[in-house]
Amino acid sequence: MVRGWARAAGIYPGWWVAFGAMLLNLIHAGAFAYGFSLFVTPLADDLGWSRTAISAVWATTLGVSILLSPFVGVLIDRHGGRRMVWAGAPVFGLAFIAMARIDVYVVFLLVVALLMGLGLAIGIIPPGEAEVAYWFRRRRGLAMGLATSGTGMAGLILVPLIAWSIDSWGWQTTATGLGLGIILCAWPLGLALRGRPDDAGSTVTASSAAQADNTPATEPVFSGREALVTPAFWLLNLVIGLHWFGVTLVSVHQVPYLEDRGYLPATAALVLSGAMAVSMPSRLLLGWLGDRTNLRRWLAAALACEAAAIAVLVVASSGWLLPVYALLFGVGAAALPLSSALVAEYFGRRNYATVQGNGRPIGQLARIFGAMTGGVMFDLLGGYQAAFTLAGAGFLVAIVLLLNAQPPVQHVRLAVADS
């Protein structure tokens, strides 16, 4: 189906892959990264569980994903993303259906976290990201920006829709509907992914070939083991981890922080939505710029924007500074696609999913610690300023590490050509 569309429209097939990855990111962010928090209060009110206990489900889900990431990366490199989406996305949807039907906490924790973590690791983020790396070289930053723009779309579309549904129909009906929707979307989303370009057959038409970069170019070909012994692998993943630590800490706690500063809940929510809206064109713009100049420097610029955003948020004493914060934080969101593109640039496409799978646990652990650190420091110090300052300092450390992360040297190179 997707192959026929690409032929008829004369579009390079990799853009359909990037579009499919964008929708997978929308599901991840809308249903889990941002959307899961919408179920916390209803679960606590209806079932009498503490918010800490419910948050443990979110953390355990990431824990399951961490354990599976290295193995999933190898499977994606061997079998492509389509089969992984078909296997993992229905499991992810089944987790929400189970969530609506289990009222015993221990069973809830084990079943929901296991299904959700399994589905996330296998069929939601890694397959789409890996296939974008397979299909793009010259415009990889732009393609990664398009793929990750689904995160911002989720904050503007899916998250408000889930919130409205919970208010209108209740959390159990919403969870069931969300799960069924994800399961139904699995098949068409899988069709958008195509494996590697050399596995997809002769799908590049004359018009789409004109858009592709068909000049042979040398690029690195690192195995997962070879990447693990390079300083660049660890430096890049520490940069990604510090990014996720700061982003998660601020994203989880910025609304209560602003409410504590006297802003209305609607204003606090509007600031978050504004940052998400800015993030969508920012990912595309900085990805495009990274493709044309020094990708590493644009990633450093995105991290600097995140650090500046935190500084504005901490010192903001009047409402007019909040749009400045939203603008800077939204621009800084481009760090995610730029870092993914840089990993592919440093270690190549052949084993991209394996390399990312080996490094992904660092970022996932950082997300857990980021969410927990904000709450712990608030309880100990009575405010969020210290926690936000720590997040801002982490972004600055990430810049220093990034500027020292030189491309790894490898003697064996492979000629590969596409877009």
Tell me what the pLDDT averaged over the chain comes to: 87
**DSSP element (H, E) containing 115:** helix 105-123
Torsion of CA 178, 96, 103, 47, to 10 degrees: -50
Nearest Cα to 279, choosing from 143, 162, 153? 153
Which pLDDT score is estimated for 55?
A: 80
Q: Give the integer Cα–Cα distance in Å for 72 and 51.
A: 31
CA-CA distance, 219 to 380, in Å (whole number)?
49
Q: Is 311 exposed, middle or buried (0-12, 13-18, 19+ CB in 10 A)?
A: middle
Cα separation, 330 vs 306, in Å, equals 8
Classify 222 in phi/psi space as left (phi over 0), alpha (psi -120 to 50) or beta. Answer: beta
pLDDT, tens only, 300-345: 999 999 999 999 988 876 677 889 999 999 999 999 999 999 999 9
pLDDT of 207 strictly over 80? no
Average pLDDT over residues 121-134: 92
Q: How much is the pLDDT for 396? A: 97
User: Could you tell me the domains of the chain?
Assistant: 2-197 (1.20.1250.20), 217-416 (1.20.1250.20)
The token pair that represents 75 in the structure block: 């499977």
The per-residue pLDDT for range 84-109, each reduced to its tens digit, is 999 999 999 999 999 999 999 999 99
At which residue do the structure tokens 């929707």 appear? 181
Task: Determine the Cα–Cα distance for residues 298 and 188; give it in Å rounded to an integer.
Answer: 34
pLDDT of residue 247: 93
Say if residue 159's pLDDT is above 90: no
**Do residues 146 and 118 make contact, with C-beta atoms less than 8 angstroms apart?**
no
What number is the average pLDDT over the span 261-274? 80
Distance CA 357, CA 225 (A): 12
Q: Which two tokens stand for residue 263?
A: 């802003």
Determine the Cα–Cα distance for residues 34 and 26; give it in Å rounded to an integer.
10
Average pLDDT over residues 156-176: 91
∠ Cα 81 366 185 (to 5°)? 30
* Inter-residue contact 39 to 98 (CB < 8 Å): no
pLDDT class for 134, splitting at 50, 70, 90? Answer: very high
Which residues, 6 or more positions from 276, have their beta carbon under 8 angstroms from its beta carbon? 151, 152, 154, 155, 156, 330
Please give the backbone phi and psi of residue 217, each rounded to the nearest 5 degrees, phi first.
-135, 145
Q: Torsions phi, psi of 416, nearest 5?
A: -135, 140
Is the confidence at residue 269, as pLDDT, over 50?
Answer: yes
Tell me the per-residue pLDDT of 33-71, one tens digit each, with 9 for 90 and over. 888 888 888 888 899 888 778 888 888 998 999 999 999
Q: Any alpha helices (H) in 124-230, and if so which ranges? A: 126-135, 140-156, 158-169, 171-192, 206-211, 224-228
